[in-house]
Amino acid sequence: MDTISSEKLGIIDLHPDVFGTPPRMDILHENVVWQHKYRYINYEKELSKGDLDKRRRKPFPQKGMGKKRAGSTKACNWKYGGSAHGPRGPYSTYYMLSKEKRELGLRIALSVKYAQDDLHIVDSLEIPSEDPEYLQELIDTRYWGFSVLFVDDTDIMPVNMSLAASEFGQYNLLPVYGLNVYSILKHQTLVMTLAAVEKLEQKLLEQMHKADVRK
């Protein structure tokens, strides 16, 4: 990242279990839906009979008026009455996807990015200047597309990089522990540091070969 145009620094081995998994759209979709739902709260609400601010007396006597028998004006068959089976209050749609599926989704997203040639590995995220135009020029010359996700192994990012990227909404920084399927799919390219790749590979392989798994 020191120069605007890319330089080849070396060749690394990517583990085939992490970066070569067969793609499955259903797993990706499940992950994306889960990521939306587990933080979504439904605020739909309708007023029921008890919520109405109305008198609760009998509107008119039972007999002698030539009218229907009525107990209250709040019933659902009355005009300006409450709703019978409306949505009740804010409720959360939170649920947890299984660990295997989350991990598999991450592996699939990574291998899909890699297969589409949208995964780039750099030595570090440090750039010489904090000028946002420098970052823009760098991304344009390397054909990294309109949106880029930079991933590092720590959450303390380089100063120049964070200052430059803060000017744009489409260039984002993430630590390895925050990496997720939705962000990977939303950004056009994924740029990872070497340390981040090693850490991620180690974590995913550890999860794949875990001893105390129960099915």
Partner 1 sequence: MAAPLVRNIRAFGIFGNKIAQIRQQKLLFLASRAASGSKWKGTEVDQDPFHYHDNTVPYFPEESAKKSLEAEYPDVEISTEDWHYVERVLPPKTVPEPPQHESYPTASGWLPPNTSLQPKEYGIVRTRNHMLPLYYRKHFHGKETTRILHIVGDIWKFKKDVHDYLTKEKGVRSVDIQVHEVGRFLRFRGNHLENVAEFLLQKGF
Which residues face 151 on adjacent strands?
174, 192
Residue 211 near partner 1 by CB under 8 A? yes
Structure tokens at 63: 């007999």
**Contact residue for partner 1 among 9, 47, 76, 84 (CB under 8 A):** 47
Instruction: Mark 103-142 with x for binding to partner 1 (rule: CB under 8 A) and - for no binding.
Output: ----------------------------------------
Cβ of 125: how many Cβ atoms within 10 Å?
20
Structure tokens at 129: 């200047």
Residue 213 near partner 1 by CB under 8 A? yes
Over the Cα atoms of the chain, what is R_g? 28
Residue 53 near partner 1 by CB under 8 A? yes
State the amino acid at position 209 in one-letter form.
H
Least distance from C-beta 16 to partner 1, angstroms?
9
Stretch of residues binding partner 1 (CB under 8 A), selected from 47-55, 161-169, 172-180, 183-191: 47-55
Of 171-210, binders to partner 1 (CB under 8 A) are 206, 208-210
Phi and psi torsions of 121, nearest 5°: -115, 125
Q: In this structure, is the dihedral angle defined by the CA atoms of residues 137, 140, 145 and 148, taken in order, positive or negative? A: negative
Query: Between 52 and 97, whose beta carbon lies closer to partner 1?
Result: 52
Query: Between 13 and 212, whose beta carbon lies closer to partner 1?
Result: 212
Least distance from C-beta 121 to partner 1, angstroms?
24
Least distance from C-beta 54 to partner 1, angstroms?
8
Residue 100 near partner 1 by CB under 8 A? no
Residue 79 near partner 1 by CB under 8 A? no
Residue 51 near partner 1 by CB under 8 A? yes
Spatial distance between the Cα atoms of 215 and 212, rounded to a whole number of angstroms: 10
CB within 8 A of 90, min separation 6: which ones? Answer: 41, 42, 43, 45
Query: Between 46 and 155, whose beta carbon lies closer to partner 1?
Result: 46
Structure tokens at 52: 């109405």
8 A C-beta contact, residue 214 and residue 173: no
8 A C-beta contact, residue 183 and residue 110: no
Query: Between 116 and 124, whose beta carbon lies closer to partner 1?
Result: 116
Please report, as ranges, the residues that interact with partner 1 according to CB under 8 A. Answer: 17, 22, 24, 47, 51-53, 206, 208-213
